[in-house]
Amino acid sequence: MVLTANVPTAQGSRYLQQLCKHWGHKFETEFDAEKGVIAFPMGPIRLTAGADMLAVTIEPKEDADVERFKQVVAEHLDRFAFREAPLRFDWR
């Protein structure tokens, strides 16, 4: 299963880098200004920044609590986006 949310924001690159740096202390991460990957325990998180959105893709492992996975990612991004939080996640 792969779920993606296109989150409307002009700060996608900033939030992508903040999230990768934040979780980089605990998990393996790889990122630049446009894209990032976090080796999260519930499954990988892939981020791609556009001019007016941040694409967030999660790939939950079979035993992962998918709703909790979505919630953890959204809560962390909302913390970095406190000026425009809550961000809108349209998981598909």
Query: What CA–CA distance (Å, rounded) separates 86 from 5?
Result: 14
Can you give the pTM of this predicted structure?
0.95
Query: What CA–CA distance (Å, rounded) separates 50 from 72?
Result: 22
In this prediction, residue 80 has a pLDDT band, given cuts at 50, 70 and 90, of very high
Provide the pLDDT for residue 38. 98
Provide the pLDDT for residue 30. 98
Quick one: what percent of the chain has pLDDT higher than 70?
100
* CA 41 to chain CA centroid, nearest Å: 14
- Residues in contact with 45: Cβ distance below 8 Å, sequence separation at least 6, in sequence order: 37, 38, 56, 57, 58, 73
Of residues 16, 90, 2, 91, the one with CA closest to residue 44: 2
